[in-house]
Homo-oligomer: A and B are copies of this chain.
Amino acid sequence: MAEGLLVVVSGPSGCGKGTICKELLKRNKDMSISISATTRKPRKGEVDGENYFFLTEEIFKSMINKNEFLEYAHVHGNFYGTPKKFVLEKIENGENVFLEIDVQGALQIKEIYPDGVFIFILPPSMEELKNRIIKRGTESEDDIKRRYKNAFEEVKYIKKYDYLVINDKVIEAVEKIESIISAEKCSVDRQSKLINKILS
């Protein structure tokens, strides 16, 4: 069986990557989403193995030492990371796995798993990005400024990605990502097993 794809969907805060991934999962029943591990306490209603894998700091750190993460970060006193085994097992079973992540995490993953499909999402303009961050309304002015500044830092890394999808209308962005997945599966590089079989 052909291997599945790891589809890394990334971009600055406010680019709409969360909405896009939700829609992608709704439309593509054969795809799954990567579940992160974290050391933070579960919030009310959060289910272990569904929202997150909730781990103790001891276990998390021992997994770091054993290189068992595709990426991890330490944010506001808690660890967050993507367990390698969970994702790679699905891929080996031919499943496609989505991973929605910030730019720093995506670049870490690329080091470890360059075969992933790396997609950067941006709104039609940086002005629009600012509007979207403001519209969330959940953040203080300082937060908004910080997020906007980070966004400018993050776009510098677009060229490390394979694809840039402009998120003007969500459904169009989703369709573009579906096309990317379909095209990647036709790529000669990803069909070497089949090709070697044909050639033999």
- Where the two chains meet, the residues of A that have a C-beta atom closer than 8 Å to any C-beta of B are 119-120, 122, 126, 155-156, 158-159, 161-165, 175-176, 178-180, 182-184, 186-188, 191, 194-195, 198-199
A178 to B178, CA, bound (A): 11
CA distance A159 to B155 in the complex (A): 33
Q: How far is the CA of A155 from the CA of B94 in the complex (A)?
A: 26
Instruction: A162-B188, A163-B183 given; name 18 further pairs at CB < 8 Å.
Output: A155-B199, A158-B198, A158-B199, A159-B188, A159-B195, A161-B188, A163-B187, A164-B186, A164-B187, A164-B188, A164-B191, A164-B194, A175-B182, A176-B186, A179-B179, A179-B180, A179-B186, A180-B183
Residue A195 contacts which of B164, B183, B184, B195 (CB distance < 8 angstroms)? B164
Interface SS majority for chain A: helix
List, in ascending order, chain B residues with CB within 8 A of A199's CB: 155-156, 158
Q: Give the residue among A120, A178, A179, A195 with the most B Cβ atoms within 10 A.
A: A179
- Taken together, the copies of this chain in the complex come to 2
Q: How far is the CA of A72 from the CA of B199 in the complex (A)?
A: 27
Task: Point out the residue from B122, B126, B179 that lies within 8 Å of A183, measured CB to CB.
Answer: B179
Checking B176, B191, B195, B198 against A126 with a beta-carbon cut-off of 8 angstroms, the contacting residue is B198
What residues of chain B lie closer than 8 Å to A176, measured between beta carbons? 182-183, 186
Shortest Cβ distance from A195 into B: residue: B158
Question: Are the CB atoms of A198 and B155 closer together than 8 Å?
Answer: yes
Instruction: Find chain B residues with CB under 8 A from A194 CB.
Output: 164
Q: Which of A119, A164, A180, A191 has the most CB of B within 10 A?
A: A164
Min C-beta distance of A99 to chain B, whole Å: 18
Chain B residues positioned under 8 Å from A187 (CB to CB): 162-164
A155 to B120, CA, bound (A): 35
CB distance from A185 to the nearest CB of B (A): 8
A155 to chain B, nearest CB (A): 6
